[in-house]
A and B are shown apart, each in its own frame.
Chain A
Amino acid sequence: MKALGRLRYIKSVMPLPEPFERILLEYGMGGGNWGFNWVEDPVLRHLVKECSSTLPSPVKEVVLTPSYLVFIHKSDVGNSPLYVMLVFGFTEEGRLFLNVLENHEGIAKKRPICNIANTNVYTSSDSVVTRLLGFERFAPEGYTLSIPANQSRASFRLQGDIVADLLPPVGRIPKDLGTKEFLYELFETSIRNYLTLCVLDIVYAALLEHGFSITPEGPPGPPQALAVVGISSNDFLKNKPVFESILQKYFQTTKITHKQRKEYEEALILSNDFGLFSVRFLPIMWFEDSLLEISVRPIKVDDFPMAMRLKKSWRIRLRRWRKCLKHHSVSETI
């Protein structure tokens, strides 16, 4: 009877959908031992039992919003508490669902209203819960997704558990993707990186030709450096002319010199086709093993024949692509 009285009070503070009333009443009378036998969906019935029986601690608090009912369990793991939240809500068709969330903060913005089965009950807003679920609002049929002027990004729930995330151009995508300058500018950096990869490839070939075993290195993506294992700092310093002569086969090369306050040694290499680059040699000690890491940086490449050739073929591809864009096609590879 006490639970019924509390429920009446809660309803006077916030109108409750009927399933939430039943859940709260069952919780108040059974202290969390939910039967959920009134729920038609057998999967949901078993899911509630699974979740509530597996959780390590009793319910710490209940948070009620116009569309969600949240049971929060708190367990202390390590230094920061872990909050496990059973979130009840409704699908767009009005069916009751349960989701389980975890975080280290719980729900911050809430107002206490009463106590039920020794558990504090709070009210809060829907947006507090939807943010935890990973979206800000629901997009109805026919809605146009956009980013409000005062926001840096936006998230919408589209259907069931499908969420769309939007990010504004942030100075990258202009309002007209067909803008030549924008795509050329993006391509300039990519050209430099590509030409650097081409030159690293020639250095790789030159070292292979002389009998070295080489391992390309770097994060996922194009290799950033070459590793020549077994070459110590001492080996390298004593034999710098060997590396100079290897490079001289394909490039005009300066002597390998030590850069002040830098860990690496450097030579400048010039190719009439590719441009001017710096080759860096970094000896690395790894326990008892040692390796020589060789990387390449572009210095002046933009006006050299290979860059001009790449820009020309990019322009031809862009022209084709812009035609495609006019017809609004989806284009993944141009």
Chain B
Amino acid sequence: MEKMPETSFRIGNHLITLTNFMSSTITFRPSYKPTFLDWPIEVSLVDMPEFHFVSLPNARITLKHKEHGTKTVYVEPYLAFDLGTTRVSRNFPRYGNRAVLKALAERLRVENKEQNSN
């Protein structure tokens, strides 16, 4: 069976593989190019530029994550598609980083205490 070309990238700790998708913008560089204002022809297949992909027949998304495991979902063909993350408040990463630092410091304190008692 022929191997399907695919593209992989990361969002946070998720490794995402898209199979049977194409870019929503086709870049075409004609042989005649402007001398000073050199810019390729960009043909967009969708109205909204934030949708970067178009699904083709048998389009599938594989997601891999250390805690969540591996998962595959499929996408109906010929739909504009994009990936992102759930909404959070602008302060959430700040709270999160402080919490991680406190948890790590707490663990280190416990580990040091255990070492000292041994």
Contact = CB atoms under 8 A, between A and B. Distances in A.
Interface in A168-189: 168-170, 172-177, 183, 186-187
A146 interface: yes
Interface in B27-58: 27-28, 30-32, 34-37, 39, 41-48, 51, 54, 56-58
A120 interface: no
A247 interface: no
Contacts of A299: none
Given A146-B79, A173-B78, A198 B85 contact: no
A158 interface: yes
Interface stretch (A5-13, A17-25, A137-145): A137-145
Contacts of A221: 39
Contacts of A330: 5-7, 18-23
Contacts of B114: none
A101 B80 contact: no
Interface stretch (A39-47, A109-117, A278-286): A39-47
Nearest to B34: A201
A113 B7 CA distance: 50
A270 to B, nearest CB: 18
Given A50-B98, A133-B86, A145-B75, A186 B23 contact: no
B81 A313 contact: no
Contacts of B95: 47, 50-51, 54, 100
B42 to A, nearest CB: 7
B76 interface: yes
A133 B22 contact: no
Which of A165, A168, A194, A328 has the most CB atoms of chain B within a 10 A radius of its CB?
A328
Given A330-B5, A333-B27, A165 B89 contact: no
B26 A334 contact: yes
A64 B92 CA distance: 21
Contacts of B82: 164-165
Interface string A301-330: 000001001100110010001000101111
Given A47-B96, A133-B86, A141 B31 contact: no
Contacts of B84: 134, 162-163, 165
A162 B35 contact: no
Given A158-B71, A197-B34, A328-B20, A132 B65 contact: no
B91 A166 contact: no
Contacts of B22: 177, 325, 329-332
Which of B82, B86, B102 has the most CB atoms of chain A within a 10 A radius of its CB?
B86
Contact of A46 (B37, B74, B78, B103): B103
A289 interface: no
Contacts of A45: 103
Nearest to A332: B23
Contacts of A32: none
A175 B78 contact: yes
Contacts of B54: 173, 177
A2 to B, nearest CB: 31
Interface string A144-162: 1111000000001111111
Q: Across the A-B interface, give the 8 residue pairs with the lowest CB-CB distance, nearest first.
A: A201-B34, A46-B99, A47-B99, A42-B103, A167-B80, A222-B39, A332-B23, A146-B76
Interface of B: 2, 4-7, 11-14, 16, 18-23, 26-28, 30-32, 34-37, 39, 41-48, 51, 54, 56-58, 61, 63, 65, 67-68, 71-92, 95-96, 98-100, 102-103, 106-107
17 contacts: A42-B107, A133-B86, A134-B84, A159-B68, A161-B12, A162-B16, A162-B83, A162-B84, A164-B81, A165-B83, A170-B47, A193-B41, A200-B34, A306-B32, A321-B26, A328-B56, A329-B4
